Amino acid sequence: MPIKTKLEKFLKNHEKILILTVGNELRGDDGLGPAIAKKISKNRKKNLTVIDGGTVPENFTGKIKKENPSHIIIIDAVEMGAEPGTIKIIKKDEIANYNISTHAMPLSFLIEYLKTHKDYRITLIGIQPKKLEFSTKISKPVKESIEKLNSTLKEIIQ
């Protein structure tokens, strides 16, 4: 099933969407989170909040709760053993099976913590990185995926 179809299904009957991006701009393709946060923020809708969680998304749990979204989309670099730039929606129960970015707290813990506050609908969008070494440059396949995901989200979130 294409990403667009999966996202449309996930966002069906949404009231308010929060996009939480995760990543380190100094680690090559791990900087995809902050990069996509900047792009999505340019096209903000009133029912959409974008938070660049950087390398410490757990520091934004208070803001997430205050925003009180019905749906949360987390976007991060995820090592899936796929072609660089591959975009995949990762189900909550599959998150522990993947090496997710370069952060201290596992995203599965963050998701479980948020769920203790409210039964948010949460999904993770992973993009396969090409390189994660020290660099401020994002690889071409990941840049293309950022553009594709940005236009897909813009199309879906009216």
Q: What is the mean pLDDT of residues 16-28?
A: 93
Contact 49, 19 (CB under 8 A): yes
Average pLDDT of the chain is 89
pTM for the structure as a whole: 0.92
pLDDT digits over 117-145, tens only? Answer: 888 999 999 999 998 889 899 999 999 99
What pLDDT sits at residue 39?
92
Query: What is the Cα–Cα distance from 35 to 30, expressed in whole angstroms?
Result: 10
Decide if pLDDT at 103 tops 90.
Answer: no
**pLDDT tier at 53 (50, 70, 90 boundaries)?**
very high
Token pair in block for residue 2: 């294409």
We report the CATH number of the domain holding residue 98 as 3.40.50.1450
Question: What percent of the chain clears pLDDT 70, i.e. is strictly above it?
Answer: 92
Residue range(s) defining the domain that contains residue 14: 3-156
Query: What is the Cα–Cα distance from 19 to 41, expressed in whole angstroms?
Result: 10
Residue type for 74, please?
Answer: I
Q: What is the mean pLDDT of residues 29-47?
A: 89
Which residue, 70, 75, 23, is CA-closest to 48?
70
Number of independent structural domains in the chain: 1
